[in-house]
């Protein structure tokens, strides 16, 4: 611990605060995840088997892939508590941006999404509706935003029979959240780029997993993560939601008004 503090050049007050936080959280690993000061601290997890390995995320942070194709937005809503509403932007194999805001009510999140739709013109907005997101989804659809798609993290996977290509997760996903995180992991194993952000890396590598009795993948829930002192992976879930369309996003003109030819029939 002292070697890290010396390397960071912390003063006495900062050292005292850092040690108090580590004592409060229980381990240095959890401190690194919640309060990353360096790229090394953000994802030291040698004793933690995360669903997405740290090396995959580090590689994606170093990649420089030009954004290409239609824009897909992922929205992980949160209430007025400690969690944050997170939104991610994806074009092709590039996550171009991730933003999060705290203490927003339903209508404030709706307004944020509408401003993104009007400004950035996405072809799809995927919203987790397993919590407060259902009200957000209903309001956006009521306003005529048919590009908004409901994704229920706790629902059944779209394609439960498709195993992981590596064979490691041969039982497939247990629910929709596990399915889209599996798709995200496959994209990282292939080639994609992420914003070079330590907090984002901590989010993506902090989620554990297990297998149910049928051999299916079950991701660690946010409630279980809180119990072990880890923050909610809001940004990680938002990025995963960008991969909810297994066969890719719809074309840019998918929601255009259909014009029928004049046939001269009165």
Query: Could you tell me which CATH number the domain at 36-241 has?
Result: 3.30.420.240
Helices (H), the chain: 2-8, 12-25, 28-34, 54-62, 106-120, 133-142, 176-190, 198-205, 222-227, 234-241
Residue range 235-257, pLDDT digits in tens: 999 999 999 986 555 555 544 55
Q: What is the pLDDT of residue 214?
A: 86
Q: What is the pTM of this model?
A: 0.76
Domain ranges in the chain are 2-31, 36-241
Q: Is the model more confident about 221 or about 32?
A: 221
Least confident of 118-122, 134-138, 163-167, 176-180: 163-167
Given a contact cutoff of 8 angstroms between Cβ atoms, the answer to whether 206 and 230 are in contact is yes
Least confident of 7-16, 98-107, 171-180: 7-16
Q: For residues 178 and 184, what is the distance between their CA atoms, to the nearest angstrom?
A: 10
* C-alpha separations of 72 from 84, 169, 183, 261 in Å: 20, 27, 15, 31
Q: What is the pLDDT of residue 89?
A: 98
Q: What is the pLDDT of residue 46?
A: 44
Q: What is the pLDDT of residue 255?
A: 47
Residue range 58-89, pLDDT digits in tens: 999 999 999 999 999 999 999 766 789 999 99
pLDDT at 176 over 90: yes
Q: What is the pLDDT of residue 245?
A: 87
- Which among 254, 258, 257, 259 is positioned nearest to 147, based on CA atoms? 254
Q: What is the pLDDT of residue 248?
A: 57
Given a contact cutoff of 8 angstroms between Cβ atoms, the answer to whether 71 and 121 are in contact is yes
């Amino acid at each position: 611990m002292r070697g890290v503090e010396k390397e960071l050049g912390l003063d006495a007050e900062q050292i005292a605060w850092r040690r108090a936080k580590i004592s409060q959280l229980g381990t240095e690993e959890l401190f690194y995840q919640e309060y990353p000061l360096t790229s090394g601290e953000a994802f030291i997890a040698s004793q933690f088997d995360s669903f997405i390995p740290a090396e995959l995320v580090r590689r994606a942070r170093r990649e420089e892939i030009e954004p290409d194709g239609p824009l897909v937005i992922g929205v992980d809503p949160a209430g007025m508590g400690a969690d944050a509403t997170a939104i991610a932007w994806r074009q092709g194999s590039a996550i171009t941006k991730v933003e999060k805001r705290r203490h927003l009510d339903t209508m404030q999140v709706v307004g944020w999404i509408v401003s993104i739709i009007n400004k950035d013109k996405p072809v799809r907005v995927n919203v987790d509706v397993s919590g407060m997101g259902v009200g957000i989804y209903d309001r956006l659809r009521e306003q005529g935003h048919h590009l908004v798609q409901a994704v229920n993290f706790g629902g059944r996977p779209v394609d439960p029979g498709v195993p992981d290509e590596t064979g490691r997760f041969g039982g497939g996903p247990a629910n929709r959240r596990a399915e889209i995180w599996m798709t995200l992991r496959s994209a990282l194993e292939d080639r994609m780029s992420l914003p070079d952000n330590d907090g984002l890396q901590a989010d993506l590598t902090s989620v554990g997993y297990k297998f149910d009795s049928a051999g299916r993948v079950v991701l660690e829930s946010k409630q279980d993560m809180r119990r072990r002192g880890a923050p909610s992976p809001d940004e990680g879930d938002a990025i995963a939601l960008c991969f909810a369309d297994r066969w890719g996003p719809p074309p840019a003109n998918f929601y255009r008004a259909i014009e029928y030819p004049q046939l001269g029939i009165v």
